Chain A
Amino acid sequence: MSKLWFDVAHLLAGGMLVLSFALLYQDRIAAVINVFALQAVALSLSVAWQALVQGAPHLMVTAAIALIVKGFVIPTALHHIIRRMQIHREVEEVIGSGLTMLTGLGLVALSILLVQPVGEVSIYVREDLAFALAVILLGLLMMITRRNAVTQVVGFMSLENGLVLAATGAKGMPLVVEISVAFSILIAFIVFGIFVFRIRERFDTVDVRALDRFRGERRDVS
């Protein structure tokens, strides 16, 4: 495997990780969705590159699914949702942006340390796993720190981007699995969409703090 091939894969996967940080950094909902679309494009480029390197044409289908569904369909639908809910101008209050970034850096370090002892696989696979794990953890972090239901959905989708990245690094994921995962993501997205609208109908907001009172966790909701 030549050096340039490795470097380009490194560049694309690293770009996905950087975009995960950009997702954490953004506090405008529309910008978050745009960054997510960009991350999906980076994912599809990365998968397409793997298809070339591994000589596995079925990965091209994965790349196409990622590009069309997550790069265009889901972001467009999310933009539509936030415009219909009139929250497309809102700036979300994120809990301590600096602290979130530092936690994110810690998670990246953790995922590198976790993958390091994997050992006798090629450096190529190991690096891919480290990046994928970091993207997954950052997606989880985003779901935890955000209060808006729409940005939580984006966090979940970004987590799934990490899963696809991990799966393509490991050789020989069957196409059936890939297609079923893609469809389950679409269905999950539809469920989320209906759910967001239901929350909105009942509480007049998509701030998930409003749910806390109903679970009996907090009584002093102002």
Chain B
Amino acid sequence: MNQAKNFTKGFVRENPVFILMLGLCPALGTTTSAFNGFGMGMATLFVVLMSNIVVSIFKDFIPNKVRIPSYIVIIASFVTITDLVMEAFMGALHAELGLFIPLIVVNCFVLGRAEAFASKNTLFSSVVDGVGMGLAFTMALTMLGASRELLGANAIFGLQLIEGDGMLVFILAPGAFIALGYLIALMNKLKKD
């Protein structure tokens, strides 16, 4: 398998958020700013990578019938680890992301990688896939967070560009959907080219 292609597939062609429409809850719920989107993306990256590694190593030992429950237990463990470690060392971000940290466990995108990729491929491919897809997810969330922050608060990564409040609606719930809609349209265009 071509590892470079394996690594880059998630960014546009198979982008988890914009094209596959997976993991939408954290994508919309945590992206009130570019930094929050980035933090959520990184937390998810860690979980995807670790669960891909473990699933890939033990794929031959796990019987087919109990495969999904086993994957869920593995993912849930890494989610709890992320939750505890973030609470201990990144208190502010942990408070900001709140409920969406334990909810990584039900991010269809994470289970999807374990089931569709790591359970069928070698360890090295799975690592590349985990990092690539995790980064693609982070990119998507950061993009969404940055556009919402830019339109809604006239700022990016907390840096105020223009004085004033901006179009508040983009920070609020409706703006999340609308911003994502336009980003998907943009991605569809990129995918075709």
Say whether A and B bind each other: no
